[in-house]
Amino acid sequence: MSSFAFYGIFRDDPTRRRAFGPDGYKVISDEMAIPGWNVDYEYGVARILPSKYGQLMLSLCTLTDDAEKAADAIEGVSRGMYRKDMCEFVFKEDWAEQVDPEFDDCKIYMFNNDYPSRLTQN
C-alpha cells in the first residue's frame, strides 16, 4: 500500500470507487488543508501552484499496488503528463506540521508544466 494526497478528480469518492474499486483504496482524511497553495486549471487540467493566500484541500488515501497503477494510467504518468513527487518535498514544513510521520512517504501527482508544449512538437 502506498499513500497519496489527491487534489483533483480523486478527491471525489465516486470517482475513486470507479477508478480503484471498493477495495483498492482507503481514505485517511478528506479534509486536509495545506496553506499557501491553490488548484489551477490552466491547460484544462488540475495543477497546484504556490499562492500567498491560498489553501489547498487534499484527500489523503492509501492505494493498493493495482490502484496505484490505475491512478498512474489515468494521470498520464507514462505519457509525461503528470509525475509523482513526495509531498514532503513539495510542501516542506507545511506537510510535516500536518501529517503523522507514517505518511512521510506520501506522494502527489504534479502536472508537468512543459507537457502542453510537447503536444505541439513534431
Bridge partner list, 107: 4, 86
- Domain 2-120 part of CATH 3.10.490.10: yes
Say what the pLDDT of residue 122 is: 46
- 70-92 residue pLDDT tens: 999 999 999 989 999 999 999 98
Band (115; pLDDT cuts 50, 70, 90): low
Residue corresponding to grid cell 499513500: 3
Q: Per-residue pLDDT averaged across 29-54, rounded?
A: 89
Domain boundaries, the chain: 2-120
Q: What phi and psi, each to the nearest 5 degrees, are found at residue 38?
A: -140, 155
Report the candidate in 95, 78, 93, 106 with the shortest Cα–Cα distance to residue 6: 106
Grid cell, residue 33, equals: 488543508
